[in-house]
A and B are shown apart, each in its own frame.
Chain A
Amino acid sequence: YLMTTMKVFRCPGRHGYAVEASPFLPNRLACAASQYYGITGSGSLFVLDQTETGVVLVRSWQWGDGLFDVAWSEANEHVLVAGGGDGSLQLWDSANQNAPLKVAKEHTQEVYSVDWSQTRAENLIASGSWDRSVKVWDQNLSRSLVTLRGHEGVVYSSIWSPHIPGCIASASGDGTLRVWDVKAAACRLAVPAHKAEILSCDWCKYDQNLVATGSVDCSVCVWDLRNVTQPVNQLLGHNYAIRRVKPAKANEALFDGNSLTLMSDLPLSPDGRFQQNIQSV
């Protein structure tokens, strides 16, 4: 009963890697996609609008390698940043350009995660790469301002805290969740969160201390950074690796990017446990 009409955008020959909603335009989405499941080939970036009846392509660009993540600018409604398999970050302008505004090539391996800081004063971009580093950039991608090293495996995800300025959480193939202080260029916390690779992490939107991680071990864990000896909750039930976790902004629902399972009604009860009501799409 979740959705009676499903709006679909299809692009033959491309496999989606990331979708992000525009912070400015209510129905606008950006989608990063790759050829051949991102294993080889080129990539595409799509800007899409949801209409009453379906999904319309506003703009698209091609890239010579797969694109693995996209993030909208928090300063300009037309600007997006994408991360590619060639180690580059590209800045795109959906209003004008056919070619990227800027291409920054510092990472030496695939860029798997890009995130634009939501704290308005900051306007910084974070990128996580298979070269094991997280880099912080100015909004023009002139050059990286900080390179955060410490992970002992590929970085899959690097996300700004929506609450704490200058704070990034990252998830890695080394099985740790790390929290970084960008100003000090230091790692404040390294949590051995899973015994397998962690493919995704994200901050809870209503509690600045909570971070969710999704792992190849098929579990989602929620961590309270004040006490990381064990997770506050562990969500099991999937049979495959968790590709992406995204705590929603409203009504505390957790979207799991793997099999589109919508877990609704998850207020954090006083004893720290979630009430689970799992519906699968």
Chain B
Amino acid sequence: MNRLKLISGHLSPGGSAAPLPDLRSFDCGCAAPSPGDEVVVVHGRRTAIGKAKKGSFKDTTPDELLSAVMTAVLKDVGLSPDQLGDVCVGNVLQPGAGALMARVAHFLSGFPEKVPVYTVNRQCSSGLQALLNIAGSIRSGSIQLGLACGVESMSLRSMGDPGDLSSGLSANAKARDCLIPMGVTSENVAERFGVSRRQQDSFALDSQIKAARARDSGRFDREIVPVSVTVRDESGRERRLEVRTDEGIRAGTTLEDLARLRPAFKPDGTTTAGNSSQVSDGAAAVLLGRRAAVEELGLPVLGVLRGSAVVGVPPDLMGVGPALAIPAALQQAGLKVNDIDVFEINEAFASQVCVCVCELSLGGAIALGHPLGCTGARQVVTLLNELRRRGRRAFGVVSMCIGTGMGAAAVFEFPGP
């Protein structure tokens, strides 16, 4: 029953035609969809995050990582892939953002040809953008259910080739700034906002500790899909292993260890390998749907998408992205910072997270790693699992800064057990 309608009926005293002078009730006609039209998250899984070039996924192609999570998510909820209206995959480094790779992964997963798939590249936010794209298709009514994924192999590809750019770039300061290495933007942020080396190292230490604690207490067990892979060693010998643990976490890290590292991007700088996110491999997938369709199929509701925003920021200070994207997303969701129980902000660099000043409960990319296209989707999986673990209705935010100067954020609600 519409409570608002019922209760506003109490405001007009019976029999009196005119409403009381100071009292009016308005039908807001706000943009909020009716409950059946809400975009809900059904389920999500991720692979472990491997260390690029040295870790267990170093010889694994991204289609294999992607296929592992795509199949696991659907199998867990017993949904046949032919029910999907679309699949969107975030990816950055593969040629053409992995469009061909994704279709191959699709067939490797045994998905039927009639289900379409595409990829999206908004740099570090690609995994989240994939989710927002699927949500958009659901909202516009073109699909009922969709899979949003993200995958990256930074072992097999790196951020080498900037593509074909106009020579006019050199005369345009902002365009030029897009080529600044990410680490240098971190130095810019640290300098502009006065974040010291010590602060960054403390933050990094904290991230390692939280991630180790989360891993050791089994908090990630539910969300990680074990993947069987082949690893080749220097002599060319191959062995098979099953990867089920995040490899980036350095549990025994101390402040002294971090202090010893040399600045990686600027001679007298503060950003080091220890207080930056790691280069990694991984994949994640999230199943989304229109609430009415999800409930009709008897599928669970793990979370509800309440709002999102993507904003542009100076390319040379890209790290501040979340600081602008988060308020914009909260405003869209009609919420305040105090309403949020957990923030999952990608830790591209400690400098930028210190500036964004929000709490992470599980440790992030500094400890876990940042497989570019995967991260956004991975954050959603981790966030919703953590809200579910806490066992009561709660709100969470996923956010990240984006290379070339943007920030993205999305607000999710865990509806309660």
Which A residues have a C-beta under 8 Å from some C-beta of B?
37-40, 42, 62, 64, 85, 109-110, 130, 154, 173, 194-197, 199, 215-218, 239-241
**From A12, which residue of chain B is reached at the shortest CB distance?**
B338
The smallest C-beta distance from B34 to any residue of chain A, in angstroms, reads: 13
Which B residues have a C-beta under 8 Å from some C-beta of A?
1, 3-4, 6-7, 9-15, 20, 392-393, 415-417
The smallest C-beta distance from B139 to any residue of chain A, in angstroms, reads: 20
**From B3, which residue of chain A is reached at the shortest CB distance?**
A39
**From A86, which residue of chain B is reached at the shortest CB distance?**
B416
Contact partner of A195 among B12, B14, B392, B417, CB < 8 A?
Answer: B14
The smallest C-beta distance from A60 to any residue of chain B, in angstroms, reads: 12
Expressed in whole angstroms, the Cα–Cα distance for A239 and B16 within the complex equals: 11
The answer to whether A240 touches B20 (Cβ under 8 A) is: yes
The smallest C-beta distance from A187 to any residue of chain B, in angstroms, reads: 23
The smallest C-beta distance from A231 to any residue of chain B, in angstroms, reads: 15
The smallest C-beta distance from B26 to any residue of chain A, in angstroms, reads: 14
Contacts of A39 in B (CB 8 A): 3-4, 7
- Main secondary structure, interface of A, reads loop
Q: A39-B4, A130-B1 are in contact. Are A197 and B416 (CB under 8 A)?
A: no
Expressed in whole angstroms, the Cα–Cα distance for A242 and B416 within the complex equals: 33
The answer to whether B10 touches A64 (Cβ under 8 A) is: no
Expressed in whole angstroms, the Cα–Cα distance for A76 and B6 within the complex equals: 35
Extra 15 A-B pairs, beta carbons < 8 Å, given A39-B3, A130-B1: A40-B3, A42-B392, A62-B392, A110-B1, A130-B6, A154-B1, A154-B6, A196-B14, A196-B15, A215-B14, A216-B9, A216-B10, A216-B13, A216-B14, A240-B13
**From A241, which residue of chain B is reached at the shortest CB distance?**
B10
Expressed in whole angstroms, the Cα–Cα distance for A240 and B10 within the complex equals: 8
Contacts of A40 in B (CB 8 A): 3
The answer to whether B10 touches A62 (Cβ under 8 A) is: no
Contacts of A38 in B (CB 8 A): 3, 7
The smallest C-beta distance from A41 to any residue of chain B, in angstroms, reads: 8
Expressed in whole angstroms, the Cα–Cα distance for A154 and B6 within the complex equals: 10
**From B15, which residue of chain A is reached at the shortest CB distance?**
A195
Contacts of A196 in B (CB 8 A): 13-15
The smallest C-beta distance from B317 to any residue of chain A, in angstroms, reads: 35
Q: Which of B13, B20, B417 has the most CB of A within 10 A?
A: B13
**From B4, which residue of chain A is reached at the shortest CB distance?**
A39
